[in-house]
Structures are given as structure tokens and as C-alpha cells.
Amino acid sequence: MSEDTDTPNAHQRVWFVTGSSRGLGRALITAILDAGDLVAATARNPEALAEELKGYGDRVLTLPLDVTSAEASRAAIDATLDRFGRLDVVVNNAGYANVSPVETSDDHDFRAQFETNFWGVYNVTKAALPVLRQQGSGTVVQISSVGGRVGGSPGIASYQAAKFAVDGFTRSLAAETAPFGLRYMVVEPSGFATDWAGSSMTVHATPDAYDSTVGAMNRRVRQSAAGSAGDPNRAAEIIVRTMQRGEVPSHLLLGVNAVDLALDYSRGQLAEAEAWEAVSRSADYAEPYPVELPPPSGQ
């Protein structure tokens, strides 16, 4: 079978990727095609992407997609099926963050971010589910952030709240669809050398009262000349290789900072749960009550 055919063979996967025009999404498209698979690459403005990918022939389908539209999401999934006949991996990558303290955030901007970062994931996933369920196979990959696990990054509350929501949504979805043979993986990167904190991000004015939190984070991380440590091409290749396994992790951390932050957070959560265990248990009728509160930390 020719490499340029648009009909997948038994060894080729059909991917559907949102936010494909730059950053991790663009790197992922290249990794998918270099692995010999087929892909529907979607973006709000796919024209430049289509020109760049001409050399891959019919193995790539470029589609316009605004993920905040449920109707457009369904149409893009249908177009992928029309071209390739099936759907193996859905990657919800589209997303962005703008910076401002919650107190001074523009309500429209805060909601608009959530529309893309959460409702976009919902729209695309929901559009793909009937296809994956009827196939009895398929994987949904949610590109989240280590901040969606540990939180606490000043200035991007909408983005991080959406990533927490995506995780909860995906966990519930995995339980609901357990009989259907579907797989789910939430990818949690730390900082990567993309334009996430560059042209994709609007940094709004930070009031003096928030300079030590939001302002300090902007200077130290988001506007640092040092750049991010993560290689998006490596990340993309890791995701593609992971899809070749029969079993995938429910959560995939990517990057040294992601691993360190996640381990520290999990250890802290466990220590706190153990310290408050007796108090927490005492809320049930059958448990001893009252019990002594644990001493403040450091005592």
C-alpha cells in the first residue's frame, strides 16, 4: 500500500488533533506523520498548515475548527471519518492562557479562556464518543498541564481551573465508558519551548497589590529570557510512542519540573491526609467524636 493513500492499513492509526498550527500540536502532527500514521490536523486557520504539510500527501487532512462550537466539532469528526473511515486517537490540544489576577480579570476574557480550555475539550470528546463506542476502540488524549494537578500558579486561574475540570471530566468519562474498550490519557507537561507564554498569551496589567505574586511569576517564568526546558518534539514523540502500547497511563507527566512538582504535591497531600485522618473519620456517625485536632505544623 502506498504511503500517500488515505485508507489506513492495519498498522496505521488515524489521529484527530486540535490546535495543530503551532506549539506542541504542530510538533505532534509531524511526529504522527513521521511514524507513518494518518491525521486530521485542525486549527482555527489551517491554510498555512495545509501548505506546510503538502509533502505528506493524502495522509494528512487539514480542517478548520473552532473547538468552542459543538456543531463545528461534529462536522470535523464527520469529515475525518469520510476521509479515513475510522478514528483511533483524539488529541484535545487546543488551549491558551491569559494573565491577570482574579480580582481584576475581565469577566469576558476569563469565560472565553474556559470556553476553549474546557468546553472545547467537551465538544470534541462528545463528538468523537459515538464513533469510538461503535468501534469498540480508541484513545482520547487530553493535553492538560502539571498545573492541572498541582495548581497554585498566580495569574492564570481560568486556565488552571479548566485543566482541573478536564481531569475530573475525563475520570468520570473513563468510568462511564469502561465497557466500551476505550482508553484515556491526560498529559501534564511543565514548561515547553512553545509560544504558550509568548504570542498566544496576553499579559494584562498587574496592580501593585499583586506584584509579589502574579508580577513575580510573570518575571520569573513567563517573561524569562532563559526559556522553557521542555522540547516539544520530544514530547510529541513520547506521546506517539505511548499510543503504540496496549496500555497507557491515565496521566503522563512530561518534563523535569512536572515530575518534581507532582511528586512533591502528592507527598504533601498524603502527609496532610494522614495528619488529619482521625478528625476526618470522626465526621461519620459510627466514629469516635470529638477527636483532638492535629497540632500546627512545626510543633
- 232-257: per-residue pLDDT in tens? 999 999 999 999 999 999 999 999 99
Query: What's residue 199's pLDDT?
Result: 63
Question: What are the structural domain ranges in the chain?
Answer: 14-254
- Predicted confidence at residue 259, as pLDDT, reads 96
Q: What is the pLDDT of residue 2?
A: 39
Q: What is the pLDDT of residue 9?
A: 80
Tell me which of 175 and 299 has the higher pLDDT.
175
Q: What is the pLDDT of residue 1?
A: 35
Q: Decide which of 157 and 299 is more confident.
A: 157
Q: Specify the residue for cell string 522540547.
A: 231
CB 83 within 8 A of CB 60: no
Q: 69, 94 in Cβ contact below 8 A? A: no
Instruction: Tell how strand 14-17 and strand 38-43 pair up.
Output: parallel
Contact 88, 138 (CB under 8 A): yes
Average pLDDT of the residues in 269-291 = 98
Averaged confidence pLDDT in the chain: 92
Decide if 144 is catalytic. Answer: yes
Q: What is the pLDDT, as a whole number, of residue 203?
A: 86
| Given the residues 122, 159, 184, 210, the one annotated as active site | 159
The contacts of residue 222 (CB under 8 Å, 6+ apart) are 99, 155, 197, 201, 203
Poorest-pLDDT segment among 44-48, 113-117, 181-185, 225-229: 225-229
pLDDT band per the 50, 70, 90 thresholds, residue 8:
confident
Q: Which of 20, 100, 163, 184 is catalytic?
A: 163
Q: Is 289 a catalytic residue?
A: no
pLDDT of res. 145: 95
pLDDT on residue 3: 47
Please state, in angstroms and rounded to a whole number, the distance separating the CA atoms of residues 14 and 87. 5
Report the pLDDT value the prediction gives residue 229, as an integer from 0 to 100. Answer: 80
Indicate the pTM of the whole model: 0.93
> What's the pLDDT tens digit per position in 124-151?
999 999 999 999 999 999 999 999 999 9
Task: Please tell me which residue, 125 or 3, carries the higher pLDDT value.
Answer: 125
How much is the average pLDDT of 213-234? 79
Cα atoms found within 13 Å of the Cα of residue 202, Cβ hemisphere only: 8
CATH class of 14-254: alpha beta
Binned at pLDDT 50, 70 and 90, residue 298 comes out as confident
Residue 71 has pLDDT above 90, yes or no: yes
Identify the active-site residue in 73, 144, 190, 228: 144
Amino acid letter for position 66: D
The answer on pLDDT for 225 being more than 60 is: no
pLDDT tens per residue, range 20-58: 998 999 999 999 999 999 999 999 889 888 889 999 999
Average pLDDT, integer, range 154-162: 96
Cβ pair 140, 133 in contact under 8 A: no
Could you give the percent of the chain with pLDDT greater than 90? 81
Asked if the model's pLDDT at residue 222 lies above 80, the reply is no
